[in-house]
Amino acid sequence: MGNLTIRNLTITPLELKDVERIPAEPKKLNGIAKIKLRLPGRRNKQLDGSASATALNGEGSDSSPGKYDVSNVAITPFSETVTSIPAPALESESLGLTFIEPGSPTQYTTTIPGPSLGSVVMKSSNGEGGDSDKEFTIIYLPTSSFLSIFSSAQLNKWMSKLPCAYPLSSLSIPGTHNSPTCFKALPSVRCQAVPVRTQLENGVRFLDIRVSCSPPPSSASYNCTDCPDEETTNLPLVHSAFPISLSGTKYLHDLLDEVYSFLDTNPTETILISLKREGTGKGTDHDLSRYLATRYFGLSGTDETDDTARKRWYTHPGIPTLGTVRGKCVLIRRFNIDPTASAEWHDGAGLGIDGSSWPDNVADGLCGSGLIRIQDFYEVGKTNNIATKIVYVQEGLSRSAQQVFTAPDAPGGTSAGGYLPLYINFLSASNFFNASLWPEKIAAKLNPAITEHLCIGHGAPGKGPGGLSVGDASTGIVVTDWVGRDGDWDLIRCIVGWNARLQLKQ
C-alpha cells in the first residue's frame, strides 16, 4: 500500500481539505461475537510529508478518530498530485475525503473504497452560496492507490455540453462492437450484455452493425416494404455468417426505429453507424448500397417518406462537425458502392465516411480513404495474446491523444474538409475454438485494463506506450464488448469524461 495519488480530470480546480480514516464495520463471529477492528497507530497520527496535518479533535478524543485537516493539497485541472496520505488498507478501513473549490464555499465529500468496486458520484455536501448541483464521478483503483476524478455527465445527452464547431474526429466517443448482439446466440456470436437502446441511454454513440443482403428480385423492389420475402427487403442482423439471435431473425429496420426514437428524445446527440455486409446472403455490396440509399437514406426519391429519411441521416462523404449532425445518424460505410448509381448521390461525391478499404486484423492501419485510422487486431490465438491486445489499444489511444484540432476560422486553423481522421480503436477480439477467448471472457480482462489506463496513463505525457506527446487527449472512438454488464458503465464514463479536456480550449 503506497501513498494516495489523486488525478483531477476536470476543468475545476480542487483542493483536498479533510481526510478521515474510518475503520471497517465490526464483523460478527459465529453470528454472536463482534470483533472490533482498530488500526494500530491510527488515532491522532500525523500525516508526514508536504501536506501539513492536524488532528481536528485533539489528543484523546474519540468523537471523530482519525480525522485530519489537510492543507496545501491542490489538484489543478488535468494534473495529478502524489499526496503524503497513506492509501486505505483494504478490507480494514476506508478513507473519507473532503474537497473544496478554492474561493468557493462548495465542498464535496466521498469515501474510498466505495461500497462497490465501481465508480462513485461525489456530490456537494453543503452548497450554501456555492454550486449545489455540481457533482463529480470518482474511480478509485486500490491496487495502484490511485484516485481519478471525472466530470459527471448525463450519459443520455452528454453531447449537449459540447460546442457545435468541433468535428466528430476531435471527440472522445464510446462505441460497441457488433452492437445488437445481446441475444442468446451461438458461441462467440454474442458480444454485448444489454440492448442497443440501453447502450445509447448510457453514453454509447458509435454502433457497429453487420447485415446480410440478398439480391432483390427486380430493380423495382429496392423500396418494396410489402414484399413477402423479408429476407430480401428487410436486412437481417448478423455476426459473421451467423444470425445474432436463436429466437428469431432480427432486422435492421427495427433496430433503426430504436435509434430514431432515442434521437427524437435526445436531439443534441448524434450516432455514428458503421454498416457492413456479412452473413450468407448472396447479395453484393452494390446491392446493399442501392437498397440502403433507396429505402433508408431517402436518396432516390422526392416524396415525404424520402424527405424524412434524409433528415434522419448524414450520408455525405467527409467528417462533419457535431453541430451539423445533431439529431442524425452518421454513416460509416464499410461496403463498396454501385458506381452506376453513385452519380445520383451527393452529385457523385460518394456515400458516407468511406471505410470500404478496411485493413484486416491490424494493430495500426489506415483506410484507403484516409479518413479512418484503426486498431482492429482481433485474432487472439491464446490467452497470453490478450496482453498484446491491451498494448495495441493503449497505443491507439496515445495516437489519438496526440492530435490537436484547431477551428477553421482560427489563425492557422484547419482548412475545410481537412479535419483529423477518425481514430477507431477496437477492444474486441475472440477465438471461436477456445471458450476462454470468447468475447465475454476477453472483455472481462480488456475493459478493466483500459478503464485503469484512462484513469492513470491516458493523456499523461510520457506515460503511454511510446512516450508520445499529448495534444487534445481525445480517446477517439473506443469500440467495446460487454459494457453495461451488471450495471458497470465505468469504461464508458471514462471515455465520455475525457471530452472535458476540450473545454480548456474554449
Residue-wise pLDDT for 94-103, tens only, equals 999 999 999 8
Of the residues 151, 184, 207, the one at which a domain ends: 151
User: Are 108 and 238 in a shared domain?
Assistant: no
Q: Return the pLDDT at 40.
A: 37
Considering 348-357, 462-471, 473-482, the range whose residues carry the highest mean pLDDT is: 473-482
Q: Return the pLDDT at 36.
A: 35
Phi-psi region of 213 (alpha: psi -120 to 50; beta: other; left: phi over 0): beta
User: Are 495 and 350 in a shared domain?
Assistant: yes
Q: What percent of the chain has pLDDT over 90?
A: 66
Q: Return the pLDDT at 130.
A: 52
Q: Return the pLDDT at 223.
A: 58
- For 19, the grid coordinates are 481526510
Identify the CATH number of the domain in which residue 465 sits.
3.20.20.190
Length of the chain: 506
Q: CA nearest 327: which of 370, 379, 266?
A: 266
Q: Return the pLDDT at 247.
A: 95
User: Are 133 and 203 in a shared domain?
Assistant: no
Q: Return the pLDDT at 228.
A: 36
Please, which residues have CB within 8 angstroms of residue 166's CB and are 6 or more apart in sequence?
Answer: 321, 322, 405, 502
Q: Return the pLDDT at 44.
A: 32
226 to 221, 414, 425: CA distances (angstroms):
10, 48, 39
3-state secondary structure of 149: strand
Residue with cell 451527393: 346
**117-121, 410-414, 452-456: which range is least confident on average?**
410-414
Q: Return the pLDDT at 149.
A: 98
**59-68, 168-177, 459-468: which range is least confident on average?**
59-68
How many whole angstroms separate alpha carbon 83 and alpha carbon 384? 35
User: Are 351 and 206 in a shared domain?
Assistant: yes
Averaged pLDDT for residues 432-458: 95
Q: Return the pLDDT at 382.
A: 81
| Residue 307 pLDDT > 60 | yes
| Residue 64 pLDDT > 70 | no
Q: How many domains does the chain contain in total?
A: 2
Q: Return the pLDDT at 46.
A: 32
Q: CA nearest 249: which of 276, 227, 229, 274?
A: 229
Q: Return the pLDDT at 131.
A: 56
User: Are 456 and 322 in a shared domain?
Assistant: yes
User: Are 121 and 167 in a shared domain?
Assistant: no
User: Are 31 and 60 in a shared domain?
Assistant: yes
User: Are 122 and 164 in a shared domain?
Assistant: no
Averaged pLDDT for residues 134-162: 95
Its domain, for residue 107, covers 3-151
| Residue 41 pLDDT > 70 | no
**50-54, 84-88, 154-158: which range is least confident on average?**
50-54
Of the residues 88, 120, 151, the one at which a domain ends: 151
| Beta strand segments in 316-405, E | 329-334, 353-354, 365-366, 372-375
> Mean pLDDT score of the chain, rounded to an integer?
86
Q: Return the pLDDT at 219.
A: 57
The amino acid occupying position 442 is I
Q: Return the pLDDT at 429.
A: 95
Residue-wise pLDDT for 483-493, tens only, equals 999 999 999 99
| Residue 51 pLDDT > 60 | no
Dihedral (Cα; 313, 319, 323, 328), 10-degree rounding: 20
How many whole angstroms separate alpha carbon 383 and alpha carbon 222? 45
Q: What percent of the chain has pLDDT over 70?
A: 84
User: Are 420 and 287 in a shared domain?
Assistant: yes
pLDDT band at 128 (very low <50, low <70, confident <90, very high): low
Q: Return the pLDDT at 42.
A: 36
Q: Return the pLDDT at 343.
A: 77
Q: Return the pLDDT at 233.
A: 64
3-state secondary structure of 72: strand
| Residue 7 pLDDT > 70 | yes
Residue-wise pLDDT for 366-417, tens only, equals 998 899 999 999 999 888 899 999 999 999 999 999 999 886 655 444 544 4
User: Are 341 and 230 in a shared domain?
Assistant: yes
**16-20, 102-106, 179-183, 305-309: which range is least confident on average?**
305-309
- For 481, the grid coordinates are 464488448
Of the residues 98, 129, 151, the one at which a domain ends: 151
Give 308's Cβ-side CA count (13 Å radius). 7
User: Are 40 and 63 in a shared domain?
Assistant: yes
pLDDT band at 33 (very low <50, low <70, confident <90, very high): very low
User: Are 206 and 268 in a shared domain?
Assistant: yes
| Residue 192 pLDDT > 90 | yes
Buried (b) or exposed (e) across 190-221, using 16+ Cβ within 10 A? Answer: bbbbbbbebbbbbbbbbbbbbbbbbebeeeeb
Q: Return the pLDDT at 391.
A: 97
| Residue 342 pLDDT > 70 | yes
Q: Return the pLDDT at 57.
A: 34
**120-124, 262-266, 330-334, 461-465: which range is least confident on average?**
461-465
Q: CA nearest 235: which of 311, 186, 294?
A: 294
| Residue 179 pLDDT > 70 | yes
Residue-wise pLDDT for 196-234, tens only, equals 999 999 999 999 999 999 988 765 556 554 443 545 668
**How many CB atoms within 10 Å of residue 356?**
18
Contact 85, 51 (CB under 8 A): yes
